[in-house]
Amino acid sequence: MSPSAAAPLPLRDIHLPPPPGLWPPPPGWWLLAALAVALALAAVWLWRRWQADRPRRRALTELANVARAQRAAPERGEWLGQLSSLLRRHALNVFPPAQVAGLQGRPWLEFLARTGCGEDFPDGPGRWLLHGPYQPSVHVPGAQARELLARVRRWIGRTGRRSQRGESPC
Number of domains present in the structure of the chain: 1
Indicate the range of 44-53, 101-110, 145-154, 158-167 predicted with least confidence.
158-167
Residue type, 47: W
The pLDDT score that the predictor gives to residue 43 is 98
Within-domain flag for 43 = no
The predicted model scores a pTM of 0.72
Q: In degrees rounded to 5, what are phi and psi of residue 76?
A: -90, 140
Within-domain flag for 73 = yes
Bridge partner residues of 21 (DSSP): none
- Measuring CA to CA, how many Å separate 23 from each of 20, 33, 34, 36, 105? 9, 14, 17, 19, 70
Domain that holds residue 107: 55-158
Note the pLDDT tens digit of each residue in 68-83: 988 888 777 788 889 9
Percentage of residues in the chain having pLDDT higher than 90:
35
Within-domain flag for 24 = no
d(CA 67, CA 15): 83
Within-domain flag for 70 = yes
Pair 52, 134: CB distance under 8 Å? no
Percentage of residues in the chain having pLDDT higher than 70:
90
Residue 139 pLDDT grade (very low, low, confident, very high; cuts 50, 70, 90): confident
Within-domain flag for 10 = no
Looking at every residue in the chain, the average pLDDT score rounds to 86
Within-domain flag for 6 = no
Pair 115, 169: CB distance under 8 Å? yes
Pair 57, 44: CB distance under 8 Å? no
Within-domain flag for 113 = yes
Within-domain flag for 18 = no
Bridge partner residues of 76 (DSSP): 137
Residue 165 in this model has a pLDDT that exceeds 60: no
Count Cβ atoms within 10 A of the Cβ of residue 20 and give its class: 0-12 exposed, 13-18 middle, 19 or more buried. exposed
